[in-house]
Structure 1
Amino acid sequence: MKVLFINPQQEMAGLQCLSAYLKRAGHATALFNDPRLFMNLFLQSERLDRLFHVREEGFAAIEAFSPDLIGFSVVSDDYEWACAWAAAIRERCDIPIVFGNCHPTFYPRQVLAQPEVDFAARGEGEETLLELVEALGKGEDFAKIRGLAYKDHGSVRVNPMRPLIADLDSLPFPDKDLHYGPMPYLNHGYSTMTGRGCPFRCTFCHNNSSVKLYAEHGLAKSWVRRQSPRRVIAELLWAKERYGYDHIRFNDEEFAYDRGWLREFCALLKAEVGVPYFAWVSPNTIDAESAGLMGKSGCDFVEMGLQSGSERLRTDILHRRVSNERMAEAMRSLREAGIRPEVDLLLGLPTEMKADLDDTVELLRRGRPGATYPFWLRYYPVTDIFALAKERGLLSSEQIACAERDFSPRGSGYYREGNLRRESLARHYHTFILLMPLLPDWLIRLCQRWDLVRFTPAFFDSMVLAQVRRLFRGGMFDDYHLRIYHGSVWEFARLVRAWLSR
């Protein structure tokens, strides 16, 4: 059997895991990439998207590979994109289509209400997809495939959830060639994950919602799982021999939560791999010891979720119970270990006020991260923060209906909470926070003392500001951003060549 994945212009580790699992069982896989240069979260131009569309290339790839099943990995922000592709494919052929990932996991009936979608894979997909492929090949019934939702004579059947994979060491190495073939620019550095799940329960995150979903089926006890240190090293050595990378990106939700695992792994990584790396961490897990272990083993920078400098918001709204002092100490420990700390923040939180934003500016001044990434809160209906906003009357009935109906980037994000509007106060703070790594301490203090942050020009494009900041403060040419720059140029040149040949 053959499975073709349609990819939304990013290296999706989940697809690589699914492909490797299918190939180990003797099935064939391929990937077609939609570059989405003009219709994404940062740039949206329907005119350019229509001009440089790749639908015909996609149809040609389908015809050439002749798959038995077409798969989409669908987060909520990509749902409209995936539905549009599925509808276009169904007009041309009758190949079964399956959606997987977060959105089908939480909304299987909504997904299968689309006439062009035949199956929804819920939760971890390796075993579910393999059983679906083999059932299609043998003409068998789908009723016993756990984790699958499907159509049955006009009705939607949602099977019980499948238990989580307990032994991650039993899985094959990810199929990196699935992406590296059609997207060769991704081979800047090597990205992987050492485990699955997150130990924290933030109200805005899908991990919290996923744990609750699995708990409803009595399957949540093993949500956080990890490969053994030796198994991860084996993958890294295999990949180093095969691809010759010079930097590693660990995309675990939280890299440093297990101190015993971290000690063993960092020693092996330094002794046997010897390549610098990036990781995602939380201030709850970073102190002098963990930062020291990571720094000595080659970690050169991390990204850490602060979310807000307001302890009130973190405790009451986000359920992130960590003090500002601990956050500042975490950033200080990282710098002392030779690791560049970069931080994520959320603006537009429920009940957020000017005093909360001022607390965020002060925390960043104390911590002095190398880069700041302030994002606007987006509401997704399955998250606790959406329920909280509804309960407290912070969203209008129109906003609630829109979020529950429309999962596009423009439909599920609301940028007004309490007395804050994106186009006014919070927007000025957004720009100032982006610029803070470029500003000297005396200037930040002056802006605080005279309450000048609220007058920061807010008309600059945040993406442009972020690139300017990287140019002056470093990080402009790390492996992750090289992928983005190289990929954009490579894909645009390919689209132009295809357009000229029409």
Structure 2
Amino acid sequence: MKICFINPAPRSYIVERGNETTGAYPPLGILYIIGYLKREGYDSVLIDQHATKIPTTQVLEKVKKIDPDIIGFNTLTNINMGLRATFIAKIIKKWNPNVKIVFGNCHATFNHDRILKKYPFVDICVRGEGEITFYELVSALEKNRDLKSILGITYRENGKICINLDRPLIKDLDELPFPDRDVIRDIEYRQNFGGFNADYGKFTTIQSSRGCTFNCTFCCQGKLSKCTWRTRSISHVIDELELLNSEGYTNLYWVDGNFTNNPNRAVKLFREIQKNNLDFIWVCDQRVDLVNNLLLYEMRKSGCRTISFGIESANQRILNYFNKGFTPQIAIDAIRKARKIGIDFILGTFLIGAPTETLEEIKKTLLLAQKVEIDFPQFHIFGTFPGTEIWDNLVRERKIDPDKYWENGVKVLVPPLEIVEEEMRKAYIDFIKRPKYLFNQTLRTLKSIHRWRIVLSNLKTFTNFKKFKKFYEFSTKTWTHGIKL
């Protein structure tokens, strides 16, 4: 049985960003499934449109050349990957009505019945973790067996939509094979932002755990993981790092749902990385309320050079609405500790435009970015999607129509969108042009080998007016999620 996976990209990624791999990381979920299938005797092919930015016509050419029996699509709601998947799937199904079209990931997990109801060319949705489910599905289709016994799928049979029971979460993550990165060996993934390279070596993503015990109301991790946190053994993670080291990888991004959910376990992992002389440069996302000096110290010693802190808001009312469980002061203290330990680059993410949030509260959050000791802010206009608690609450309160917004998500901010976007753009510019900020950035770069290597890898961007202008425009871009209410 010939198996193909497609990681689609929204049209804007292809048209506006050309060949840059901006925002496109190795699709780890698909690579895990491909690795599992390989262990069970099935080979697969991956077409990563998101990374390569090839037009859909070329995607179709590749599909026709492969002539697969089954195609699995990666689907996400917040960047319209789900809509792009349906666009491509429709064309493929018209070309070959016999090919089985399967959707997976968050969009398919939380919209499985709507997808099958609206799109007759989609045959099956895989809900939740896909490794075992997709293998059982491939095996059943190959042997022409009934799909009733396969947990975690929604499918169509004789015109009727059938929803099988959920598949339990995988308890022992060590039983899974490593992600199969052989299928992406010809793709150069980079942490590239608007033409600016944030790394300078061979880059990939890695995951040491799944899930999160916290339940932020804007995030779908709680529902996906049932608010549980499952870890791989440290020895299993080290084995994968040894493999990546032997394959020439130098830069990593830990994509765990909550990397340091247990700080003590994280410290043990970081010490094992040092003990085994695994010399990686790596990035992670970090909750501000799980930070302590020992954790940050061991992070730095084991290769952490960039941390992205989820600060979210300057307003306690909004933090409470998001169920973050911390105060703005805790965020300020965490960043100060990271700066003191010597983390080379500190990002801060902010989420503005929550339901009932006023313009004054938004301005307060934008101003907070200048008060904390971060190197750069990332402002996002909040949008809500199926799979999150906020979505469920707004649907229950009849404030949004789920039938209208399930494919895109929806922004629910109170002030006019145009005003908020203008305030965000102004906040970016005000942040960058501060003399003290520019002085500190210069001083930190002179003291940091890591920063110097990034500067050297971006000389073409810094010395080319058009490229620098593009990077500047990208850096001050307004990031929004969902369509306007």
- Which bin holds the TM-score, normalised by the shorter protein? 0.7 to 0.9
1:423 is paired with a residue whose SS is: helix
1:158 to 163, 176, 180: 163
Post-superposition offset of 1:349: 1.1
Task: Indicate the residue corresponding to 1:27 in structure 2.
Answer: 42
Matches within 5 A, 1:199-348: 199-211=213-225, 220=226, 223-242=228-247, 244-272=248-276, 273-315=278-320, 317-339=321-343, 340-348=345-353
Confirm or deny that 1:143 pairs with 2:164.
no
Provide the residue aligned with 2:428 in structure 1: 434
Give the distance between the partners of 2:291 and 2:31, measured in 1 at CA.
30
* Structure 2 residue 27 is matched with structure 1 residue 12: yes
**Are the equivalent residues in 2 in contact too, given 1:146–1:159 (CA < 8 A)?**
yes
**Change beyond 3 A, Cα 1:293–1:85:** same
CA contact (8 A) 1:347 1:430 kept: no
Alignment of 1:375-394 (within 5 A): 375-389=380-394
Q: TM-score, normalised by structure 2?
A: 0.80
CA deviation after TM superposition for structure 1 residue 370, in Å: 0.9
Any residues of structure 2 matched to 1:71-220 within 5 Å, and which? 71-76=72-77, 77-93=80-96, 94-113=98-117, 114-181=119-186, 183-185=187-189, 188-211=202-225, 220=226
Q: Gaps spanning 5+ residues in structure 2: where?
A: 10-23, 191-200, 439-444, 462-466, 468-485
What is the root-mean-square deviation of aligned Cα atoms in Å?
2.9
- One of 404, 411, 416 as aligned partner of 2:413: 416
**Contact persistence 2:267–2:298 (CA under 8 A):** yes
Task: Note the alpha carbon deviations across 1:82-128, whole angstroms, 9 max, x for none.
Answer: 11111101111121111111111112211212111111111101111
- Aligned-partner residue type, residue 89 of structure 2: A
Percent of aligned positions that are identical: 26
Q: How does 1:390-469 map to 2 (within 5 A)?
A: 395=399, 400-401=400-401, 404-409=403-408, 412-414=409-411, 416-417=413-414, 420-424=415-419, 426-435=420-429, 437-440=431-434
Classify 1:225/1:80 alpha carbon distance in 2 versus 1 (closer, same or farther; 3 Å).
same
| Match in the other structure for 1:3 | 3
Does the CA contact (< 8 Å) of 2:75 and 2:82 recur in 1?
yes
CA contact (8 A) 2:5 2:73 kept: yes
2:291 partner amino acid: I
Q: Secondary structure at 2:149's aligned position in 1?
A: coil
2:56 matches 1:54: yes
Deviation per CA, 1:389-444: give whole Å up to 9, x if none.
45677x4xxxx23x5334455xx332631xx22212x2343124324542438799
CA distance in 2, matches of 1:475, 1:348: 33
Structure 2 CA distance, aligned partners of 1:136 and 1:363? 55
Aligned with 1:309: secondary structure? coil
The answer to whether the 8 Å contact 1:17/1:173 transfers is yes
Question: Is the 8 Å Cα contact of residues 309 and 359 (structure 1) preserved in structure 2?
Answer: yes
> Normalization by structure 1: what TM-score?
0.77
Q: 1:67 maps to which residue?
A: 68
Is this contact kept in 2: 1:72–1:98, CA < 8 A?
Answer: yes
Structure 2 counterpart of 1:404, which letter?
D
Q: Hey, what does 2:18 align to over in structure 1?
A: none
Q: What displacement does 1:36 show?
A: 8.6
Equivalent position amino acid for 1:118 in 2: D
Instruction: Label 1:379 to 1:228 Cα distance change in 2 as closer, same or farther (>3 A).
Output: same
Return the offset for 1:292: 1.6
Change (3 A) 1:442 1:174: closer
Partner SS state of residue 27, structure 1:
coil
Superposed structure 1 runs of 4+ greater than 6 Å apart: 441-444, 473-477
Structure 1 counterpart SS, 2:235 = helix
Counterpart code for 1:198: C
SS in structure 2 of the partner of residue 107 of structure 1: helix
AA aligned opposite 1:204: F
Q: Say if 1:443 and 1:117 are closer, same or farther in 2 by CA, change over 3 A.
A: closer
Give secondary structure in 2 for the equivalent of 1:142: coil
Q: Is the 8 A contact 1:347 1:374 kept in 2?
A: yes
SS at match of 2:288: coil
Distance 2:434 2:296 in 1: 25
- Compared CA separation, residues 139 and 179, structure 1 to 2 (3 A): same
Cα distance in structure 2, aligned partners of 1:416 and 1:67: 44
1:32 is paired with a residue whose SS is strand
Give the superposition deviation at 1:358. Answer: 4.2
Deviation at 1:343, TM superposition (A): 1.1
Offset, 1:246: 2.0
Name stretches of at least 5 consecutive residues in structure 1 with no aligned partner: 39-51, 212-219, 445-469, 490-502
- Summarize the Cα distance change of 1:295–1:35 in structure 2 as closer, same or farther, 3 Å threshold: closer
Are the equivalent residues in 1 in contact too, given 2:281–2:304 (CA < 8 A)? yes
